Amino acid sequence: MRTGYDEVIYHDTGRLVPCNVVHHIETIGDRPDLRLSMSNLICVTAKTHRRIHAAYDSGQSEKSQMVARLREIRSERV
Ligand SMILES: [Zn+2]
């Protein structure tokens, strides 16, 4: 969001890949109060976004792990 590059790819590989999707780390359904919170938003590519949602859809523990990982990545940039 702030960088214009996929923050997950950058964190994992150091590569700068332009992002085009803004993902809500805590979903709007779970935390409507955070929908406009910058720290809850992470900019990613469509491919990363599909991976994130695949994890969210895999079960509660996979979702919790992905949320924690995204929070950690995001917090490095605040
Ligand atoms: Zn999303």
CA dihedral 29, 30, 35, 40 (to 10 degrees): -140
Q: Which residues pair with 23 in a beta bridge?
A: 42
Chain segment 31-65, per-residue pLDDT in tens? 999 999 999 999 999 999 999 999 999 999 999 99
Q: If you measure from the C-alpha of residue 56 to the centroid of ligand 1, how many angstroms do you get, rounded to a whole number?
A: 9
Q: If you measure from the C-alpha of residue 34 to the centroid of ligand 1, how many angstroms do you get, rounded to a whole number?
A: 13
What is the residue-averaged pLDDT of the chain?
Answer: 93
Q: Which residues surround ligand 1, an ion (CB under 5 A)?
A: 23
pLDDT band at 77 (very low <50, low <70, confident <90, very high): low
Q: If you measure from the C-alpha of residue 21 to the centroid of ligand 1, how many angstroms do you get, rounded to a whole number?
A: 8
pLDDT band at 3 (very low <50, low <70, confident <90, very high): low
Q: If you measure from the C-alpha of residue 11 to the centroid of ligand 1, how many angstroms do you get, rounded to a whole number?
A: 18
